[in-house]
Structure 1
Amino acid sequence: MITLSGIVKRYRMGDEEFNALAGVDLHVERNEYVALTGPSGSGKSSLMNILGCLDTPTEGHYHLNGQDVATLGDDALAGIRNKEIGFVFQSFHLLPRLNVLNNVAQPLVYRGLSPAERERLATDALQRVGLGQKLKHLPNQLSGGQRQRVAVARALVGRPSILLADEPTGNLDSRTSEEIMALFDALHSDGQTVILVTHEADIAAHAARVIRLVDGKIDSDLRQERKACIS
């Protein structure tokens, strides 16, 4: 599904250049559950941005479902993000004046679907994350864990190839974090490819594969026995 070859991401700061990514080679199969870890400044966020087609590499190739997306323009990348990739962020990024149903349906507006079809798909996604009874609630009427579930539903509504989660439990307490991770575990068990960025070992423990970055390079790539879901 995902193949990165010789990925370099170079930034200029004043008169100096530095490599956020310094030659990354990576292959991820469909339905893998991967955690990206590493110290601050290791390149985790740069790699996540490239995987999510939010940024393009300075050098190298990125094949997503057989298509080299590394050299595509902004419009083409936006189309791939809308169809292939679901994003979950630490800060939820929900629209405060839209109810839960309309927040989840928002990405489908750009696909030209009818309002009835958008509502059907959004309702299905919310039911998958256990919020089928909260369709008309506003974000400020929900707990932090419920808001993150809405964000997960929004990421899933377009039936993406990849679910990318960037520190998805960073704003949650430990109990709610475990509930959200149990949701990711269940989605993976249903066949969803999941890639998450985290600096927390107990969150990375849910993944079957942990990739550690140091100084813009893959330092280790290990498979492990996954942490069991909470009951």
Structure 2
Amino acid sequence: MIELVGIHKHYVMGDQEVRALDGVDLFIDRNEYVALIGPSGSGKSTLMNLLGCLDTPSAGHYLLNGRDTATLDDNELAHVRNREVGFVFQSFHLLPRMSVLDNVMQPLVYRGLPRAERRRRAVESLERVGLGNRLDHRPNQLSGGQRQRVAVARALVGEPSLLLADEPTGNLDSRTSAEIMALFDALHAQGQTVVVVTHEPDIAAHCHRTVRIGDGRIVEDRRTR
């Protein structure tokens, strides 16, 4: 499903060139459960941005479901992000003045779906993460774990081929982190492809494959189960 071949990402900062990614090859099949792990500055966040089509490589090719993302213009990349990738971020990124239901419906607005269909899908997605009884609440009426569940429901509502989670437990206590990772475990068991970006070994341990990044390169790629 994911093919990265010879990926480089370079930035110019003043008179210096920063090699954030320096020749990355990575292949991820459908329904894999993968952790991208590495310290701050290793390149894992840059790699996540490329996987999510939030950025493009300086060189190399990224094929998502057979499409070379380097050939896509900004509108086409936005379309891929909306249809193919579900994002879950550390800081939730929920709209505080909207209800839980409206937050989850939001990605479907850009597809031009009728409101009734958006609502049906959003309710289904919230029930999937155990929040079917919180539709009319606002984010500030929820716990941190519940807000992250809303973020997961929003990521899933468009039925993406890839669920991409960036430090999804970074703002949560250990018990709530375990609950969120159990949710990812269940989603993977249901057939969802999940990639988790983390620097925490106990979070990576939930995944079935660990890809370790260091100095812009893959330094280890191992299956754990």
Provide the TM-score with structure 1 as the length reference: 0.97
Q: What's the offset of the Cα at 1:72?
A: 1.7
Cα distance in 1 for residues equivalent to 2:64 and 2:201: 28
User: Counterpart amino acid of 2:79?
Assistant: G
Cα distance in 2 for residues equivalent to 1:46 and 1:196: 14
How many residues are paired up?
225
Q: Where does residue 104 of structure 1 map in the other structure?
A: 104
Question: Which aligned pairs between 1:154-193 and structure 2 lie closer than 5 A?
Answer: 154-193=154-193
Q: Where does residue 16 of structure 1 map in the other structure?
A: 16
**Residues 20 and 216 in structure 1, CA contact (< 8 A), matched pair in contact too:** yes
Structure 2 gaps, min length 5? none
Cα distance in 1 for residues equivalent to 2:71 and 2:7: 12
Question: Which aligned pairs between 1:74-113 and structure 2 lie closer than 5 A?
Answer: 74-113=74-113
Cα distance in 2 for residues equivalent to 1:71 and 1:204: 32
User: Counterpart amino acid of 2:115?
Assistant: P
Q: Where does residue 195 of structure 2 map in the other structure?
A: 195
Cα distance in 2 for residues equivalent to 1:139 and 1:37: 29
User: Counterpart amino acid of 1:83?
Assistant: R
User: Counterpart amino acid of 2:91?
Assistant: S
User: Counterpart amino acid of 2:126?
Assistant: L
Cα distance in 2 for residues equivalent to 1:13 and 1:199: 25
Cα distance in 2 for residues equivalent to 1:200 and 1:91: 17
Cα distance in 2 for residues equivalent to 1:70 and 1:36: 22
81-90 or 38-47: which moved more?
38-47
Q: What's the offset of the Cα at 1:73?
A: 1.6
Q: What's the offset of the Cα at 1:71?
A: 3.4
Deviation string for 1:177-223 (max 9, x for gaps)?
Answer: 00000000000000000001000000000000000001000000010
Q: Where does residue 220 of structure 1 map in the other structure?
A: 220
The CA RMSD measured in Å over matched residues stands at: 0.5
Q: What's the offset of the Cα at 1:70?
A: 2.2
Q: Percent identity?
A: 72
Deviation string for 1:62-117 (max 9, x for gaps)?
Answer: 01111101232211100000000000000000000000000000000000000000
Cα distance in 2 for residues equivalent to 1:137 and 1:18: 44
Q: Where does residue 47 of structure 2 map in the other structure?
A: 47
Q: Where does residue 117 of structure 1 map in the other structure?
A: 117
Q: Which structure 1 residue ranges, 4+ long, deviate > 3 Å from structure 2? A: none
Cα distance in 1 for residues equivalent to 2:200 and 2:66: 32
Structure 1 gaps, min length 5? 226-231
Cα distance in 2 for residues equivalent to 1:72 and 1:46: 19
Cα distance in 2 for residues equivalent to 1:27 and 1:146: 33
Cα distance in 2 for residues equivalent to 1:97 and 1:38: 35
